[in-house]
């Protein structure tokens, strides 16, 4: 090798080395300094910056010193570069932060004691951590704005508290595309308001208080309800639809006070819909089934749980011995956990020998994993996505935001079409994977369209199931025509509505129903006729209704936020739920009740603890074993012939 030869360049691994406050790290190119500092455990204060929005660098709180740069640089808008050396603690950086906070507090009202964001306000926290010890300006000479401006029945705005970080206006521009909030006036008189002074109409306006770093935007439902240090926080999954949005359940005094977002980039991307967010207080309903009861000779008497289970088993056994398994049916609901549903279908198939098993009223023909092959985050990787009708976004509202993100930030061609559209009428589609999204009712239209498009390209479907665990119920086999893991059923039974009709006609004589209040009110007359005709109606439920009124054996159940277990979202993501409230009754969990009922019917040894039931479930359904906690259950997605 010649003496003046240039050594070969090191291979480009896509990483760059950066040093912050004496700590070094290698990061991917395109990483912002704020994210690099976070990875090193170094805190840089920010107001305008938001992880889901593009950087704008307007608040200037994150200014840091970068070696060889003539001025301080905004960390939220500066990308790391090879050899970059950053100092976040220099005297000029500290002085600049103090100055910024002094200006922000210049016209800010001194109402922390009555502000709903007290205790979780970035302005309050940073004023203590980075602010000057005293202000050089008189606290009485402030520019005043309107307080308690009602933007809608959900959101209230305090214009005096606003620090003009632009997060709310950028949220409407970048995340929803609705542009309902704007900046008005100029200079020190600048304020946030709706463009025409009208009311907010967005179905996602509940996210505004969470993107606001101070107490300018607050939830009207939550105002003056609690302080953050008084709340007990539990990780959970929103129960309002099958999308599976991750939430924090904040409770106090045995009541749910609010739902807050919990960022899962694979699912909701930290955004919640208003329907889910503001359903929090509905879970404080005190109208509950609280005591086990048995009906005999037209009289209802309270009994112990063990007596109720023994009576149920004795009555079911009598029908089974006299009329056979075809006279018995089992119904669950999409608000049961996977563990509860697993034992319910085992009870029906293995103990009672019936194939009349379902979790909802509609009939599902040709159901299989082929209609769940498209994941939520994978929507952004498609070349085009075809949405059939309005129902998918109505059933799973946050899907709208994922589609908007895919279209505006990833260049995906999103097309909303009628249910009966043909592949030819859609027109030219870009090269790449095509996604087809439909709701349960129109899944047959989606299957036909996917088959047409699939002749020349790769097509992946996403069927929007109903209710929080509608997908899980199908996966574990609570269907008349599909067993656990979509196994073929040799002799399919009756679907939900058919079971009720058969009971009303006298064909089905014994019914075991768990969590049926989710759907019973929608078909109350049919439920009442079925209950009046059936010899045995065993009901495990939480809310009074037509089922509980007609039950021959009634056992109190546990509400969604009183349960431990797993639920599966629309794309097959298995997510754990935990009790956020103490149980309203002293009865055992549904899994223990089903285990005890099976034992009384001659099948002892079933697990009753939800954790042990889950182990049995994942052993029987390999896709769930692979998914674990938080992963997707992906089955063989071959389209049936």
Count of beta carbons in the 10 Å neighbourhood of residue 285? 11
DSSP string of 144-185, one letter each residue: ----SEE-SSSEEE-TTT-----HHHHIIIIII----EEEES
What's the pLDDT at 8?
Answer: 55
Listed residue (76, 81, 87) closest to 26, CA to CA: 81
- Please give the Cα distance from 242 to 143 (Å, whole number): 47
Give the domains, in start order, of the chain with CATH numbers.
15-89 (3.10.20.740), 139-284 (3.30.70.20), 293-360+470-627 (3.40.50.740), 369-464 (3.40.1010)
What's the pLDDT at 9?
Answer: 52
Establish how many alpha carbons lie within 13 A of residue 99's alpha carbon, considering only the half-sphere containing its beta carbon.
Answer: 9
What is the rounded average pLDDT of the residues 79-91? 96
In three-state form (DSSP H/G/I as H, E/B as E, the rest C), the secondary structure along 282-311 is HHHCCCCCCCCEEEECCEEEECCHHHHHHH
Residue 7 pLDDT exceeds 80: no
Q: Which residues, at least 6 apart from 586, have a Cβ–Cβ distance to it below 8 Å?
A: none
Residues 441, 463 contacting (CB under 8 angstroms): no
What is the rounded average pLDDT of the residues 256-276? 97
pLDDT band at 4, cuts 50/70/90? low
What's the pLDDT at 197?
Answer: 84
Residue 196 pLDDT exceeds 90: no
DSSP string of 310-357, one letter each residue: HHHHHHHHHHHHHH-GGGEEEE--TTS-HHHHHHHHHIIIIIS----E
- Model pTM score: 0.93
- Please give the Cα distance from 566 to 240 (Å, whole number): 15
Residue 638 pLDDT exceeds 90: no
- For the chain, state the CA radius of gyration: 29
As to burial, measured by CB atoms within 10 angstroms (0-12 exposed, 13-18 middle, 19+ buried), residue 605 is exposed
SS3 category, 268: coil
Residues 549, 387 contacting (CB under 8 angstroms): no
Return the percentage of the chain with pLDDT > 70, whole number: 98
- The 10 Å CB-count burial string (b at 16+, else e) for 375-413 is bbbbbbebbbbbbbbebbbebbbbbbbbbbbbbeeeebb
In three-state form (DSSP H/G/I as H, E/B as E, the rest C), the secondary structure along 453-515 is HCCCCCEEEEEECCCCCHHHHHHCCCCCCECHHHCECCCCCCCHHHHHHHHHHCCCCEEEEEC
How do residues 12-49 score in pLDDT, each as one tens digit? 778 999 999 999 999 999 999 999 999 999 999 999 99
pLDDT band at 6, cuts 50/70/90? low
What's the pLDDT at 188?
Answer: 85
Q: Which token pair is 109?
A: 């009202």
Question: What is the phi/psi pair of residue 31, to 5°?
Answer: -80, 135
Residues 170, 182 contacting (CB under 8 angstroms): no
């Amino acid at each position: 090798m010649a003496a003046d030869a240039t050594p070969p360049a090191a291979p480009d691994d896509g990483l760059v080395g950066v040093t912050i406050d004496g700590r070094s790290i290698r990061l991917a190119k395109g990483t912002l300094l704020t994210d690099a500092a976070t990875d090193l455990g170094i805190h840089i204060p920010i107001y305008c910056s938001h992880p889901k929005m593009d950087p704008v660098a307007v608040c200037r709180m994150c200014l840091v010193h970068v070696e060889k740069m003539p001025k301080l640089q905004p960390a939220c808008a500066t990308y790391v570069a090879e050899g970059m050396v950053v100092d976040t603690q220099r005297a000029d950086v500290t002085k600049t932060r103090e100055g910024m906070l002094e200006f922000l507090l210049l016209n800010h009202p001194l109402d922390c004691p009555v502000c709903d964001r007290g205790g979780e306000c970035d302005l309050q926290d940073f004023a203590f951590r980075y602010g000057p010890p005293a202000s050089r300006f008189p606290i009485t000479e402030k520019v005043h704005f309107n307080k308690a401006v009602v933007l809608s029945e959900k959101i209230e705005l305090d214009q005096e508290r606003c620090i003009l970080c632009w997060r709310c206006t950028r949220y409407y521009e970048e995340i929803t595309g609705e542009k309902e909030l704007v900046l008005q006036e100029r200079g020190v008189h600048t304020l946030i308001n709706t463009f025409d002074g009208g009311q907010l109409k967005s179905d996602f306006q509940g996210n505004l208080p969470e993107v606001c770093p101070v107490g300018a935007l607050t939830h009207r439902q939550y105002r003056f309800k609690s302080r953050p240090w008084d709340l007990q926080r539990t990780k959970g999954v929103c129960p309002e639809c099958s999308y599976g949005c991750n939430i924090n359940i904040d409770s106090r005094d045995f009541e749910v006070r609010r739902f807050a977002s919990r960022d899962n980039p694979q699912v909701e991307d930290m955004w919640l819909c208003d329907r889910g967010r503001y359903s929090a207080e509905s879970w404080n309903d005190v109208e509950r089934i609280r005591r086990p009861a048995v009906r005999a000779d037209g009289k209802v008497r309270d009994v112990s749980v063990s007596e109720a289970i023994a009576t149920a088993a004795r009555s079911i056994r009598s029908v089974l011995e006299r009329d056979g398994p075809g006279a018995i049916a089992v119904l669950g609901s999409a608000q049961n956990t996977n563990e509860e549903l697993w034992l319910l279908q085992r009870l029906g198939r293995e103990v009672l020998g019936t194939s009349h098993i379902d979790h909802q009223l509609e009939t599902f023909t040709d159901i299989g994993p082929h209609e769940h092959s498209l994941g939520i985050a994978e929507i952004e990787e498609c070349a085009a996505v075809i949405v059939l009708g309005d129902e998918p976004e109505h059933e799973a509202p946050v899907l709208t935001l994922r589609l908007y993100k895919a279209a505006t930030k990833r260049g995906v061609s999103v097309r909303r079409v009628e249910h009966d559209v043909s592949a030819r009428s859609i027109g030219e589609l870009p090269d790449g994977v095509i996604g087809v999204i439909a709701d349960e009712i129109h899944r047959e239209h989606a299957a036909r369209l996917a088959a047409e498009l699939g002749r020349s390209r790769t097509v992946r479907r996403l069927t929007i199931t109903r209710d929080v665990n509608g997908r899980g119920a199908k996966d574990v086999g609570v269907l008349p025509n599909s067993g656990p893991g979509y196994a073929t059923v040799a002799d399919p039974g009756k679907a939900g509505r058919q079971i009720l009709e058969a009971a009303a006609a006298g064909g089905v004589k014994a019914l075991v129903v768990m969590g049926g209040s989710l759907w019973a009110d929608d078909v109350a007359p049919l439920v009442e006729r079925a209950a009046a005709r059936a010899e045995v109606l065993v009901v495990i439920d939480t809310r009074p209704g037509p089922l509980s009124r007609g039950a021959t054996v009634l056992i109190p159940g546990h509400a969604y936020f009183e349960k431990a277990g797993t639920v599966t979202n629309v794309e097959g993501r298995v997510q754990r739920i935990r009790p956020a409230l103490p149980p309203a009754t002293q009865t055992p969990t549904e899994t223990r009740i089903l285990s005890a009922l099976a034992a009384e019917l001659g099948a002892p040894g079933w697990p009753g603890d939800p954790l042990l039931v889950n182990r049995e479930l994942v052993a029987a359904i390999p896709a769930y074993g692979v998914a674990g906690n938080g992963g997707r259950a992906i089955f063989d997605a071959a389209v049936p012939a």
